[in-house]
Amino acid sequence: MYIKRTDLALEARELWQESAQRTTRLSGVKATKTKQEGYPVTRVDILDNRGEEALGKPQGSYLTIDLTSFWQRKTDFFERAVRAVGSQLKGLLPAEGPVLIIGLGNAAMTPDAVGPLAADSVLITRHLIAAMPRHFAGFRPVAVFRTGVLGTTGVESAEAVRGLAEEIKPALVIAIDALASRRVGRVCTTIQLSDTGIIPGSGVGNHRAALNRETLGVPVFAIGVPTVVDAATLAADLLEESGVENVRPESLQKEGQGLMVTPRDIDQQVRDLSKVIGYGINWALQDLEIEEINALLS
């Protein structure tokens, strides 16, 4: 059967609910809604095997921050977004220990560049603390690794990260990647945080070995931004909304083979959201105000 493609737990839940056959209650999944700094936050907890199976995602917590109003650029929209991401992330993470940040994806291809771009806004402190421990006593050690893509390294991201983690022994890993969503309206308006690890390259359609506690031996947190919609998924949704019955998904998939739908001004949007993520990580890890982060990164 044709599976509409999404990397958002929020949308996986929607798809489950939409499917005509299921008249029963979705068990093993809990969803709650709140607001932070003016931005809506939806938390989806997958509690057990039934939830895993229903949504096709591993057990754990998935927080979706809705930044639609970010683009209206109202008062303090950037600062509020950083604090929203930062405080939600802080709630997920262990309070102590060195951190390894992984920027997944291809810096040379905008819809896939969220990982490396966000990594550029992360305060890197591990080497400074090692060299000048007294000066940097107040900082948490942070290292960054940009995996690049298989075609330019010959090494799977998961292999490379495992080797590095083995060497530098972080207490936790935070992996940042571009995602695919099902709805155009969520592209570049949503940041998903989770404590379940990540399968790199989902956003642009190359499934790879997972980065998670099983493969790396430490807890792995994921931060993702949907930057594309699969063209076949978009088309299927449009057809259904237009009342077409018996959509033959195979033909759509063939037609949409290797195509993605993306906003025209994707460059600016990806750059802005990547900065929100980088700053949010700094806010969560280093207890710094945004002006202090600005000063340290300049």
Q: List the interface residues with a second copy, window 188-207 (CB under 8 A).
A: 204-205
* Residue entry with tokens 């807890």: 219
The residue (of 47 and 107) whose beta carbon lies closer to a second copy is: 107
Work out which of 26, 171, 209, 259 binds a second copy, going by CB under 8 A.
259
296 forms part of the interface with a second copy (CB under 8 A): no
125, 205, 281, 291, 294 from 297: Cα distances, Å? 11, 33, 13, 10, 5
Work out which of 26, 31, 47, 124 binds a second copy, going by CB under 8 A.
124
CB of 105 to a second copy, least distance (A): 13
168 forms part of the interface with a second copy (CB under 8 A): yes
The DSSP line for 128-197 is HHHH-TTTTTTSPPEEEEEEE-HHHHSS-HHHHHHHHHHHH--SEEEEEEEEEES-GGGTTTEEEEESS-
Work out which of 171, 260, 290, 297 binds a second copy, going by CB under 8 A.
260
- Could you give the string, one character per residue 92-111, with x where binding to a second copy holds by CB under 8 A and - elsewhere? ----------------xxx-
Work out which of 44, 142, 223, 281 binds a second copy, going by CB under 8 A.
142
Listed ranges 8-16, 44-52, 213-221, 227-235: which one lies at the site for a second copy (CB under 8 A): 227-235
108 CB-near residues (< 8 Å, 6+ apart) = none
Judge whether 104 and 75 are in contact, CB under 8 Å: no
Residue 33 has, within 13 A of its CA and on its CB side, a CA count of: 5
Alpha-carbon torsion (279, 97, 224, 119), positive or negative: positive
User: Under the rule (CB under 8 A), what is the footprint of a second copy?
Assistant: 78, 108-110, 120, 124-128, 141-146, 148, 150-156, 159-160, 162-168, 184, 204-205, 231, 234-235, 238-239, 242-244, 247, 252, 255-256, 258-267, 272, 298
